[in-house]
Amino acid sequence: MKGCCVMREEEEEEEETEWSTDCRDTQEEESDRARAEMELIVLSGGILVLPVFVFIASFLFWPGSLLKAYNWFWRQRLGLLVRYSHCGNYRFCYSSRGTPRDATPTLLLLHGFSASKDMWLPVVNHLPRDLHVVCVDMPGHEGTSRTGAEDYSIQGQVTRVHQFVQSIGLDKRPFHLVGTSMGGNVAGVYAARYPAQLSGVTLMCPAGLVYPTETEFIRRLRELENTPQVESIPLIPSTPQELDDMLKLCCYTPPKLHRQVMQGLLDNRIPNNEFYKEVFMELVGEKSRHLLQDNLHLITSPVQVVWGTEDQVLDVSGAAVLEARLPNCQVTLLEKCGHSVSLERPRKTANLIMDFMSAQEVGCENSKKLS
């Protein structure tokens, strides 16, 4: 009997052992399943959270990179493609949309001092999608080759822009040239040197004139001429306060930017400040300062002038100078607008350019009919 009891007890212990083993296996399987589900949830959440995390981290720690990414996104949305062309070893960087058409001239846009091709994004946003638009980085700026002072004077820039025009075949038919500030000086001199290539030219607050009324900025430049070593230039900020002052100088209504955005703008500009100083000193030198004024008598293309009445950089009185010297000149003054016309009035700028181009096309058609 004792043997039977022992056997029964042993069997019961074996059953309990098997049952506990099965329970452990089941628990481990459930634990593995739960862990796998948690990993899937974390992974799925990570796919959603990661871009948000990257955005926040970039905004806090790398705002300059975030601004570049924003411009990239905006170019993609507008259908602008960044391209490169070459003249020998010299590289031009530009963005473009559309293809040349016989009916409508190509639009070539020249930006101002220390800017880039991306400054035209707000304007391109309001231009017709089927218009062939080209925005080029001026010599030494952004993605275009940075060489030496000979390319940074107005005449040097005109020569390089002409090489760029040839490198992408824009010289095969007349195109419309637009330039603002420094780019306006270049565009005007280009019109004087290469009139046959243009259907018209738009000058927005152009540099290079003798202004009947001088701004405080111009008077400050005269002081800089007599300074052996230039430490501070209003258009070349090195601190958030100097950047804020520059925006107030260039805009009648300065954009209200978050301090991190301001820091991002500075982060992208400061590495280029020495280059900007070199360019600036070339622009205010004797060879470039009044080069547009000196070439006005050679301009035969139809000219459109757009100027902000509150321009604190280059006084609006320059518009009267152009109107008096250029017979085919159409002047538009924008109220409550400063020097940065393309930033403050992008829609108006785009409409004015398109209206002017359309008027020139109608004029050409009427001339053909009369002939």
Closest CA to 146 of 89, 108, 190, 85: 89
Helix (H) or strand (E) holding 322: helix 318-325
CA–CA gap between residue 48 and residue 62 (Å, rounded): 21
Q: What single string gives the DSSP state of each residue in 182-231?
A: HHHHHHHHHHHH-GGGEEEEEEES-SSS--SS--HHHHHHHHHHT-SS--
Q: Rounded to an integer, what distance in angstroms lies between the CA atom of residue 135 and that of residue 5?
A: 98
d(CA 62, CA 276): 23
How far is 311 from 339, CA to CA, in rounded Å?
5
DSSP lists the bridge partners of residue 110 as 136, 179
Q: Which of 288, 311, 315, 340 is catalytic?
A: 311
The β-bridge relationship of strands 329-334 and 303-308 is: parallel
State how far the Cα of 183 lies from the Cα of 135, in Å rounded to an integer. Answer: 11
Tell me how far apart the alpha carbons of residues 252 and 336 are, in angstroms, rounded to a whole number. Answer: 6
Q: Is 111 a catalytic residue?
A: no
Instruction: Please say whether the beta carbons of 157 and 186 come within 8 A.
Output: yes
From 137, 301, 339, 342, active-site residue: 339
Question: In the annotation, is 130 catalytic?
Answer: no
The tokens 């000219």 sit on which residue? 303
Whole-angstrom CA distances from 28 to 14, 22, 36, 127 are 21, 10, 12, 64
Q: Among the options 181, 288, 301, 340, which is catalytic?
A: 181
93, 67 Cβ separation under 8 angstroms? no
Separation of alpha carbons 116 and 74, rounded Å: 14
Alpha carbon distance 371, 354 (integer Å): 26
181 is catalytic: yes
Which active-site residues does the annotation give?
A: 181, 311, 339
